[in-house]
Structure 1
Amino acid sequence: MNRILIVDDEPNILLSLEFLFKKEGFQVLIARDGEEALDLIEQSTPKVVILDIMMPKVDGYEVCAHLKKNHQEVKVIFLTAKSKQQDVEKGKELGADLYLTKPFSTKNLLNQVKALIN
């Protein structure tokens, strides 16, 4: 089963992405902040984490750093409004497999996730 974790503090993004990926046959986990994401990752390691950067408690950069240190096999996609070059570079330095900015194409995101898994 392809399990993915979507981490975002925007309910509309969570709902639309959860619907999209469930429709495509994915098992979807949801976290509303980085702390919740870290707990879920330890409970049931996903194949892919779609991660916002600006979130309460623990930001996406910290979640990515934890993943790349403890779960190198997990693919990380940053999905964020932070589009400055320095943000993209920081994401890549932390080991993100992909860096997408909002607004985004759900079709493109779905295709990218499928490509990372296969």
Structure 2
Amino acid sequence: MTVSKTDMLICTTDTVPGREVQQTMGLVRGATVRAKHIGTDIVAGLRNLVGGEMTGYSSLLAGAREQALDRMKDEARSMGANAVIGFRMETSAIMNGASEIVAYGTAVRLT
């Protein structure tokens, strides 16, 4: 596995094969809240009648996941980490039509 100095290794496991945790920096997280758009709701309502993927919602959530992940990586970098282990991502509805995406894990420096 080759990871450049500017890349941030993200893994769901607590260890990285062939690498050793040199220092643990602590918990890092990134979050975003996204709301649906009325136009997306109309298209999704029509799609619900005939079936198929609701691409508007898929795109909305994909963008939210990337933003939460980027925010978590930025926090880890600011702590001096080069990896995040034990990575998890959660989604929750915080109100009708709005969802929160949270990415979190443990920032570490690997050898």
TM range (shorter): under 0.3
State the structure with more CA Rg: 2
Structure number with the higher helix fraction is 1
Higher relative contact order (CA 8 A, sep 6+): 2
TM-score norm. by structure 2 comes to 0.21
Structure number with the higher strand fraction is 2
